[in-house]
Amino acid sequence: MQALVKFAAGNGSMELREVPEPAPGPGEVKITVKAASICGSDLHIRRGDIGIPMRFPVIPGHEFAGIVAATGPGVAELQPGDRVTGENTRSSCGACPQCATGSYNLCRQRLATGYAFDGAFAPCVVVPALRVHRIPDKVDFRAAALTDPSACAYHAVQELTRIQAGDVVLITGPGPMGLFCLQYAKANGAMVILVGAPRDTHRLELGKQLGADYALSGDGAEAAIEMLTRGQGVDVVLECSGAEAAAQLGLKQIRREGRYTQIGIFGKPVRLDLDQVLYKEIRLIGSFSQKYIGWEKALELCALGKIQVAPLITHRFPLADWEKAFDLFERGEAVKVVFDF
């Protein structure tokens, strides 16, 4: 089969290659991929600056949906023909404090599909049955492929930050993560200020359609935030861009005793004024990946129409056009790019 392969560390080193078709082992499921989307972390994989453990050569792609093609020994709960998606956690130790308490996303020995194990930028992918979730009837394959970022947003907003009705929330970065976080924050009754770069006009407009109370960009954004909060600052910052300037803005505009959650990946060391954390007693937290319940809730809320996914899918390509798709996403011209199989 033909797959997109990251064959070595460093910038680039990606190409389409013929690779053997995988077979499921004990406790595993082989899935025929129907749709797979490009994640921001896939851009970091292409550039070679991702901090998640990788093994080369490897097929990237961890946001996907498809149909069960075959099951390995010991798998009874899934059958060929089932419509499914799957988590990117491929393996974890199962014995550390994080695994024992359900936070397997933070296991020191965690290895992920699309990073250390072959992923879904291919006609089929093999994943553990334990990490597979059935797709509700009302959710199509393209929407289901975006369950991963939606579950990440659920983890950040619902489980970690715990946004409440009336909170004033600043979201920096109107990309897919920012737009998912926006929807979860609005579902909780927050007022949301969405901030992007001047090039993000179409993403900010989409943010307003999805419920953002204010969408700002450019040099006037900081003054507008101060006016909207009457100089008190926002209650919550969700930093989704992975941009140093955005993080600096968030630390400056958050109120005393506010909550700051880092969601975007920087991909390199950055300079931040952490004295702001001290002087304001900011509760600073990071949010990484997601857990089982986030996947179930993301799929359920998508089926109910509470979390909108389709508006985020702005471009579709065959896998053969992967370079064009990656470049489009890298330039910020697309919100979410899906490969159709």
In CATH, what number does 153-286 get? 3.40.50.720
With bands split at pLDDT 50, 70 and 90, how would you rate the model's confidence at 170? very high
Strand, coil or helix: 228: helix
Q: What is the pLDDT of residue 38?
A: 98
**Residues above pLDDT 70, as percent of the chain:** 100
- Domain residue spans of the chain: 2-146+309-340, 153-286
The CATH label, of 3.40.50.2300, 3.90.180.10, 1.10.3720.10, 3.90.245.10, for the domain at 2-146+309-340 is 3.90.180.10
Strands 14-18 and 313-317: unpaired
Instruction: Give yes or no for residue 313 having a pLDDT over 90.
Output: yes
Q: What is the pLDDT of residue 219?
A: 87
Q: What is the pLDDT of residue 317?
A: 98
Instruction: Give yes or no for residue 121 having a pLDDT over 90.
Output: yes
For 200, which DSSP code? G
Nearest-angstrom CA–CA distance, 245 and 96:
36
Q: What is the CA angle 303-209-152, rounded to 5? A: 50
Q: What is the pLDDT of residue 89?
A: 97
Q: What is the pLDDT of residue 233?
A: 98
Q: What is the pLDDT of residue 238?
A: 98
**Residues above pLDDT 90, as percent of the chain:** 99
Give the 3-state DSSP-derived string for 35-86, with helices as H, strands as E and coil as C.
Answer: EEECCHHHHHHHHCCCCCCCCCCECCCCEEEEEEEEECCCCCCCCCCCEEEE
Question: 245-298, pLDDT tens digit by residue?
Answer: 999 999 999 999 999 999 999 989 999 999 999 999 999 999 999 999 999 999
Whether pTM > 0.85 for this model: the answer is: yes
Domains 2-146+309-340 and 153-286 share a fold: no
Using omega within 30 degrees of 0 as the cis cutoff, is the peptide bond preceding 57 cis?
Answer: yes
With bands split at pLDDT 50, 70 and 90, how would you rate the model's confidence at 44? very high
Q: What is the pLDDT of residue 302?
A: 98
Cross-strand pairs, 133: 85
Nearest-angstrom CA–CA distance, 65 and 83:
8
Q: Which of 2, 146, 132 is nearest to 67 (CA)?
A: 132
Question: 141-160, pLDDT tens digit by residue?
Answer: 999 999 999 999 999 999 99
Question: 217-226, pLDDT tens digit by residue?
Answer: 988 999 999 9
Q: For residue 301, what are the CA distances in angstroms to 67, 187, 308, 322? A: 21, 10, 9, 30
